């Protein structure tokens, strides 16, 4: 593909993704996985799908006034909505690329059968966070999430893998995490252990998954506190330090979950 065709295809993909309701779109060439050499090569897209050339990462925002009621059914429903949007949009975008003669498919946004599996093995076969970083959407914060300029960590991600060679987006150079420690301090499970000299905290993923199991049983999954409290993101500038009143949080938590009827 010559440069003009590549650029035309990129524009078409972006247009399509925006039409599908995506807030952020980034492009990574698969070479970035080996270039940065940060994760086990078994997780590289080109190891799993040897023909892959580009990973397109799509993100939708998580609304602050909803996540700030967590743990609640209000946030749980938002989470489910973003999941449906991401998988459907990625499916449609892969289909769009197929129609233009390229190999393409998507890696679903979570890809685990049930939270009980994560309690024993808290990881997936592919990392959208790493893909998002290589696609220029943001940097990885102390809380292990992808921090973006627009929404901080309040995004959900999915990836489309294709053999179309598309010019990658530049990566974000400056770390967006300001190391404020609010994520670690507010985690109900104290799952993070910040380490001096390291920008990303150690995380006890088993503790986090166990808490999610509890919340799922109460119909108010997931947690998300470590993303709700993060001060990074233009969305935070719009809503200020807190977008829901303390009474409003209690009110929203009083409906729709097991916790609401058992308390």
For ligand SF4, the binding residues (CB under 6 A) are 141-143, 147, 177-183, 187-189, 191, 208, 211, 223-226, 229-232
- Which lies closer to ligand SF4 via its Cβ, residue 22 or residue 176? 176
- Partnered with residue 173 across adjacent β-strands are none
| Nearer to ligand SF4 among residue 100 and residue 185 (C-beta) | 185
Smaller CB separation from ligand SF4, 25 or 232? 232
Minimum CB–partner distance for residue 39 and ligand SF4 (Å) = 19
d(CA 205, CA 213): 12
Residue 222: asked if its preceding bond is cis (omega within 30°), the reply is yes
Taking the least distance from each CB to ligand SF4, the nearer of 41 and 181 is 181
> Encoding tokens for residue 136?
């220029």
Whole-angstrom distance, CA of residue 86 vs CA of residue 196: 36
| DSSP-assigned states of every residue in 152-189 | BT-EEEEEEEES---PPPPPP-S-------HHHHH-TT
Buried b (16+ CB within 10 A) or exposed e, 55-72: bbbbbbbbbbebbbbbbb
How far is 78 from 201, CA to CA, in rounded Å?
27
User: Residue 54 CB, nearest distance to ligand SF4 (Å)?
Assistant: 28
- The radius of gyration of the chain from alpha carbons, rounded to an integer in Å, stands at 19
Measured from the CB of residue 80, what is the shortest distance to ligand SF4 in angstroms? Answer: 16
**244 and 65 in contact (C-beta within 8 Å)?**
yes
Select 147 or 160, whichever has its Cβ closest to ligand SF4. 147
| 134 vs 221, beta carbon nearer ligand SF4 | 221
DSSP H helices, 20-173, are 31-36, 45-48, 64-67, 73-99, 115-120, 128-134
Cβ 67 to ligand SF4 shortest distance, Å: 11
Tell the smallest beta-carbon distance from residue 18 to ligand SF4 (Å): 27
Q: Which lies closer to ligand SF4 via its Cβ, residue 73 or residue 187?
A: 187
């Amino acid at each position: 593909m010559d440069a003009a065709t590549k650029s035309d295809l990129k524009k078409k993909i972006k247009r399509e993704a925006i039409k599908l309701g995506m807030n952020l779109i980034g492009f990574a060439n698969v070479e970035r996985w080996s270039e940065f050499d940060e994760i086990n090569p078994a997780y590289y897209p080109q190891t799993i799908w040897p023909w892959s050339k580009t990973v397109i990462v799509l993100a939708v925002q998580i609304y602050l006034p909803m996540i700030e009621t967590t743990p609640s059914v209000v946030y749980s429903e938002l989470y489910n909505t973003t999941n449906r949007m991401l998988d459907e949009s990625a499916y449609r975008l892969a289909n769009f690329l197929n129609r233009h003669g390229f190999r393409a498919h998507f890696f679903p946004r979570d890809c685990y059968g049930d939270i009980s599996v994560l309690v024993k093995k808290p990881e997936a076969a592919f990392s959208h966070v790493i893909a998002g970083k290589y696609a220029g959407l943001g940097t990885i914060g102390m809380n292990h999430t992808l921090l973006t300029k627009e929404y901080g960590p309040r995004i959900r991600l999915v990836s489309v893998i294709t053999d179309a060679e598309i010019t990658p987006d530049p990566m974000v150079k400056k770390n967006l995490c300001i190391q404020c420690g609010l994520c670690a301090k507010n985690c109900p499970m104290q799952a993070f252990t910040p380490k001096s000299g390291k920008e990303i905290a150690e995380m006890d993923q088993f503790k986090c998954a166990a808490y999610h199991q509890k919340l799922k049983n109460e119909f108010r999954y997931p947690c998300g506190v470590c993303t709700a409290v993060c001060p990074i993101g233009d969305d935070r500038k719009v809503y200020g330090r807190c977008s829901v009143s303390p009474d409003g949080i209690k009110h929203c938590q009083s409906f729709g979950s097991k916790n609401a009827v058992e308390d």
